[in-house]
Each structure stands twice: as structure tokens, then as C-alpha cells.
A and B are shown apart, each in its own frame.
Chain A
């Protein structure tokens, strides 16, 4: 079975075909949940699981789904996964689930999940689809964690809730940057990441 290229399906979405920085999908949630690193990590994990599992299920069903109603079938699959993830989060990490509030439920509207099912899972074998979903979820999560790292460090002076910037800095007049807490700065940071990536991988630059 040589129809599965690990590098192409799994690694490509993480770097060269990153869903956020190259395809520019899933921007809303990356602005909303990246104030704290903890929330961003949980969100990244949730999206990865949902994308991977729904790609897998959709791929298993791919030969039985009538083409005309495929979107609604995909939605049912994604919704199922999202509800499962939501319930698990509520059961085990209630406080994080509380801070992420509506955004876990909104994974269902995340373009990446539906996009990967449409573009990949419906035409590929289950294992390859699973790896593709996993790769895209990790690619999404990677950007989320980078943005959240800078936003929490500069906006609150903490990482995962632990104080990183020492109190003595604050005594000397250092202050947290309030703009980092606001969504516009997440957009600017995303822009910087896209900028950095394109100056390294020159083939991504549009003419």
C-alpha cells in the first residue's frame, strides 16, 4: 500500500501548507482563544482530535455518502466529535472549558475541519485521512501556541499562569502591554508569523 506519503500528508500541513499561516483559515478562533497559553493548548488539542477523528470517520463513510447531501453528513460527523470533546473537557478540566466557553462548540464552524474533509478525506483512504487531519490540527495548534506564547508573556507577564517576568521588573517601571490582551494584536502577531514564514520559504510569496 504505497498510496500514503507520510511527508506529504502529515508534515506538509504543519509547515508548508499550514492552515492558518498559508491557507489563512480558522482565523477567528485563533484571535479569540490565544490570550492565555493554557486555553490555546487545550483548543489546539481539541481541534486536532476533532479534525483527525472526523476525517477518519468521513473517509470510512466516503463510499456510502450520496454526493448531494455530503455537507450535512459531514456536519453530523463533525458535530458528534465536537460534542464528545466538549463533554470530556467539561468533565475533566471544567475551569478551562469555562474560559473557552463558546469556542469549543464553535469548532464545528472552523473552516479547517470541514475543509479537510471536503478536500482530502472524501477522496482518500482512512489512515491517510487520519494523518492529514492530525497534521492540519497540529499545524493549527502550532500557530495558536506561538501567538498565545507572546500574548500571555507580554500581555500578562505569565506563561501557563506562572509568573515569568519577575516582580522586580515591575518595580522598575515595567508594565504589561494591554494591547496584547486585545484581539487586534493577535491579528498583528499572525501577520508577523506569516511574514516570517514567507521570508524563509520564498516559494510561498505571491507575485
Chain B
């Protein structure tokens, strides 16, 4: 570590203003603060400052996402094995297939996203914002594994430029950038983002090229590749051979990181324990989802009890990692309860009563992102009025 520090200090002057590589100052700064906690402190005025800066916060989220990512990699291989009847595949075959499928998604996400971040920071003369570390980690986890890489690249570019940089960069965006990328894909290329064949690795290609695609013996009979949300009835789940435990553990088709409730709950525990994400948003979102889920169950819109809604599709993943985004969620404590509840309630409402969209989590979070400032505004207004009343009485 000492050697690294010395090297950094040695090359630092050439990146300062007027140095040989002065124009690359933002880039250098980004790497230096990535490696070391910066020792700059506020000089004037009182200012509470500890070591937890934006970079450390972001790293905590990235760490919390690791279980979901690892499980996702395994599940990609596992679903491929199930669909193509590769009974002789062991654990390492499965993981290897997952790695081969998922790593390119990550490469595209980070190269395109960070590339744009660095270039725009250079142009504006800002420091490089670290917000993309999390977005780049999230994006591959919320897309189907078979999504073409060039589409992902366009979506990432769109999300970073139109979803974030236009508003002024990290911390200024109205909507969660990762969800902007997904929404862009969803509305631009619907055939690659919904349906039955996209959720299992290799299935799209198999459908296009038939048996010529030599990754096994071909698709085994009866495999539909649909996610549980495609047929969200007890009959549908029975036909797909899925029960509650499968969905809880995550051995079901779906977007890469969203399937396993256990892995996501480990991430949630890390986030809550470190205080990075708001437990109020997570908790109220779950309550909202359960409430509408049981309402749908009571009026007969679905024959699955409300708690099924929590483990299907992206509900938990969205609740834990996307709805709690500190930039785009509500800021006031009371507002967080309202915001979270409405995210969960709207997501399940879209699922149950809108036949056009089998999954509503993305739309619910984006919609509530839009309304979060409004919620905050009214919470603050209400609080001001209540206090003003107290003053009058006294």
C-alpha cells in the first residue's frame, strides 16, 4: 500500500493544473480518491465530516449487491442446464456458463457508462462522479440474460446522458439511472425484454437457429422459459413446476439478479446494518405490496396469497436496491413511509390489474421517483402548519 501511495504522490504534480497531463485532472482525481480516502477537510465554518464520503457509501451498495450477482451467475447456468437437459453438468460447468454470459453484460455496462462519465467530467472540468459504480452494477442484474450487448450499450449511454448528465450528474437526477436504462430497453425493444424465451441463457439463439445451435441436445419438452409472473396463478405455477420455496431461493427464470429472495435479503441486511439505505422505504414497500396483494386475493383477481407477490419478479430487488436510492427517493422521514408504501402498492396493482405489463416494479419506482419531491413538499408544508398552530395556541 505504501508503494502505491508513493507512486500516486510522485505522479500527482503532472496532473495538477499546469502540469503535463493537467487536462486529465478529473480522471486522475477519480482514481486517487478511489484508492485512498481523501485527506482534504473543510477549512472554514463548522462542518461535520467523517470518512464516509460518497465513494464509501457507493462501495457498500456494490458489496450488498454481490450475493445477488453471484447467485444470478449461478442461476443463469442452472436455468440453461434445466432448459437444455444437460444432466451431466456439474457445479463448475454451471458457474462457467453463467460467467461467460454475465461478464460481457458487466463489461459493456461499465465501459460504456464509466466512459461517458469520465468524458463528461473532463469536458465540464468536474470531479468524476462515482454514482455510476452502483448503476453499472445494477443494470446487468435487471436485464434478461440474453439481451443483445449493443442494445445494452445504447441503453446505458441513454441512461447516463439523458437520465443523469442532463440534470447535472450524480445526485441531481430525478429518476434512478439503472431503471432508466431498463425502461429504455423495455419500450425500445419490447421483444427482447418481455416474453417467454428471453429469460433463459441461450434460448433466444436456440429459437432463431434451431438445432444448429450446438449447446446440448436441444430444448427439452415442456420447458416454457416463462417467469412465474407470466402465469401468476396457482395453476400456472403448478404447470411450471414452481412453488414458493423455489421462488424464495431463486431457482426460477428471470432477470439476472432478481430471482433469489435470499441473496437479496442478505444485501438488504448489509444495507440496513450500515445505514446506507432506508429501512423505512423497504419496510413500507413490503407492506404496500402485501396490502394490495391480499386485496387482489380477497376480490379474486388472483388465487395466490399476497406474500407470493413479494418473491415473484423484481419486487424485492426493486424494493431493496432501487426504491431506496437516496437521490431519487423521498427525503423526509414521513415521506419515506408514503413513498415506499406507494411503490409497493403500485407495483402489485400493475401486476394484478394491467394485462399489458406482467411486472410493475420498474414503472412503480419510476413513477414514485417523479412524485418524491412532491411528497416531500407536502410533508414539509404539513409539518410547518402543525407547528405554526402550536405557536398560536401558546
Residues of A whose CB lies within 8 Å of any CB of B are: 173, 175, 177-180, 182, 188, 191
Q: A-side binding surface: helix, strand, loop or mixed?
A: helix
B189 close to A177 (CB less than 8 A): yes
* Residue B190 CB within 8 A of the other chain: yes
A175 close to B162 (CB less than 8 A): no
Shortest Cβ distance from B154 into A: residue: A177
B162 close to A178 (CB less than 8 A): no
Inter-chain contacts of A180 with B (CB < 8 A): 188
Q: B-side binding surface: helix, strand, loop or mixed?
A: helix
The minimal Cβ–Cβ distance linking B349 to chain A, given in whole angstroms, is: 22
B148 close to A179 (CB less than 8 A): no
The minimal Cβ–Cβ distance linking A51 to chain B, given in whole angstroms, is: 32
* Residue B91 CB within 8 A of the other chain: no
A179 close to B162 (CB less than 8 A): no
Inter-chain contacts of A179 with B (CB < 8 A): 184, 187-188
Number of CB contacts from chain A to chain B under 8 A: 19
Q: How many interface residues does B have (CB within 8 Å)?
A: 12
B148, B166, B188, B192: which has the most chain A beta carbons within 10 Å?
Answer: B188
* Residue B383 CB within 8 A of the other chain: no
Inter-chain contacts of B150 with A (CB < 8 A): 173
Residues of B whose CB lies within 8 Å of any CB of A are: 148, 150-151, 162, 166, 184, 187-192
Instruction: A175-B189, A178-B187 are known; give 15 further A-B pairs, CB within 8 A.
Output: A173-B148, A175-B151, A175-B191, A175-B192, A177-B188, A177-B189, A178-B188, A178-B189, A178-B190, A179-B187, A179-B188, A180-B188, A182-B187, A188-B162, A191-B166
The minimal Cβ–Cβ distance linking A179 to chain B, given in whole angstroms, is: 4
The minimal Cβ–Cβ distance linking B205 to chain A, given in whole angstroms, is: 10
Give CA–CA (A188, B161) in the complex, Å. Answer: 11
Give CA–CA (A182, B183) in the complex, Å. Answer: 13
Shortest Cβ distance from A177 into B: residue: B188
Give CA–CA (A179, B154) in the complex, Å. Answer: 12
A179, A180, A182: which has the most chain B beta carbons within 10 Å?
Answer: A179
Give CA–CA (A177, B150) in the complex, Å. Answer: 12
Inter-chain contacts of B191 with A (CB < 8 A): 175
The minimal Cβ–Cβ distance linking A157 to chain B, given in whole angstroms, is: 13
Inter-chain contacts of A191 with B (CB < 8 A): 166
The minimal Cβ–Cβ distance linking B152 to chain A, given in whole angstroms, is: 13
